Chains A and B, each alone.
Chain A
Amino acid sequence: MEANEFFLTALSRSEGTLKRALDGLSPEDLRAQPAGTGSNPIGWLTMHLTRVQDGWLSRAQGMDSEWDDAGWGAKFGIQGEAPQWSPENVHTFDPKNAETLMAYWTAVKARTDRYAGSLKAADLDDELPVGRPGAPPMTIAQVLALILGDNVQHIGQIAYLRGLVKEQGWY
């Protein structure tokens, strides 16, 4: 089992948790902030984790993101560039509904499967062509670990929030 197979197996598992956690949530549930405007709601977290994955994949492949290609900003009511995510902007972000969030996730997941599924063992030690500005270069395997770490932490938060704002024992 190579690192990219691990990555895809773990990601599919995390997708299952995300689907169950969002299932049947209303737009109000998606925007609920149990600690006030400084805490992240389920809807914003879902958009954010998907967009982080989308961004890393597009940089790794030197191509446009799904967000830009398919105009997801406009679908979420964002005109032009997405804003810096200050507490105020997180509070006002409109996730629309669970279906829209899952549609964006599903599109990014399909891109992820294609890319990570095509990697060979030797590719995993290649350095990323475009890293974060000013950051030291990263290998593809490090990028996969980073995406997974970010993604699964946020999905765990979403699962916790569902129990907090909606019902306990839902899982």
Chain B
Amino acid sequence: MEGAALIAQGLDRIAGSLERSLTGVSVDELCRVPGEGTNSMAWLAWHLTRVQDDHLMNLAGRPLAWAEEGWHERFGMPAENDFGMGWPPEQVQAFTCESAEVLLAHHRAVLARSKAYLTTVTPGDLDRVLDEPQWDPRPTVGVRLVSVISDNTQHAGQIAYLRGLFGGYGWQRS
């Protein structure tokens, strides 16, 4: 199995975790924060999906789902490529969404583009060095994909924890 196939499997696992954690959760609970300065399930799901869209489509040299598919309108946001980095706590806490279904549909749309890209990636592509002189050493395509998997998997775990924090013990068995 090649690296790109492992990444695709990792992305599927993240999507599965989001489907289980978010399905049926109310907007009120999705946007709730358990303490000052903490992130809500809705913000985390939006943010991790935007990170995946940005990083994978940049590697693919394709436009982002965010603007091309009009997802920014579903979130009532500008089309510019904002994925939540550096947002102050007040802005994170004010973040809202239409429903869990919109968060999941956004994620599914991005996942489909990511997986289409990954099927085109050869082992040689993974070692291509990115033209990003701000990093030392400069990252390769493979290293960037590891970053996305690490970021997205951590956030999916946080969303699952928040579901249990608000929904109570044993939610994943119901």
Contacts and interface: CB of A to CB of B under 8 A. Distances in A.
Nearest to B156: A153
B6 A141 contact: yes
Interface stretch (B69-77, B110-118, B138-146): B138-146
A157 B161 contact: yes
A161 B10 CA distance: 23
Interface residues of B, number: 44
Interface in B62-93: 89
A2 B123 CA distance: 7
B38 A164 contact: yes
Nearest to A161: B161
Interface string B154-170: 11111011101110111
A9 B155 CA distance: 18
B153 A87 contact: no
Given A10-B146, A168-B37, A156 B157 contact: yes
A7 B156 CA distance: 18
A15 B164 CA distance: 25
> What is the interface of chain B mostly: helix, strand, loop, or mixed?
helix
B153 to A, nearest CB: 4
A17 interface: yes
B109 interface: no
B97 interface: no
A1 B1 contact: no
B137 interface: no
B162 to A, nearest CB: 8
Interface in A4-40: 5-7, 9-10, 13-14, 17, 34-35, 38-40
B34 interface: yes
A41 B3 CA distance: 33
Query: Which of B9, B14, B157 is most buried by chain A, counting CB atoms within 10 A of its CB?
Result: B157
A154 interface: yes
B18 to A, nearest CB: 11
Contact of B158 (A7, A121, A145, A156): A156
B154 A155 contact: yes
28 contacts: A1-B126, A1-B127, A1-B142, A2-B1, A6-B146, A9-B146, A10-B149, A10-B150, A14-B154, A34-B35, A35-B166, A38-B164, A38-B170, A39-B165, A39-B169, A139-B1, A141-B9, A144-B6, A148-B149, A148-B153, A152-B150, A156-B154, A157-B160, A157-B161, A159-B158, A163-B38, A164-B34, A164-B38
Question: Which 7 pairs across A and B sit closest by C-beta, in order of nearness?
Answer: A156-B154, A153-B157, A38-B169, A168-B37, A156-B157, A152-B153, A141-B1
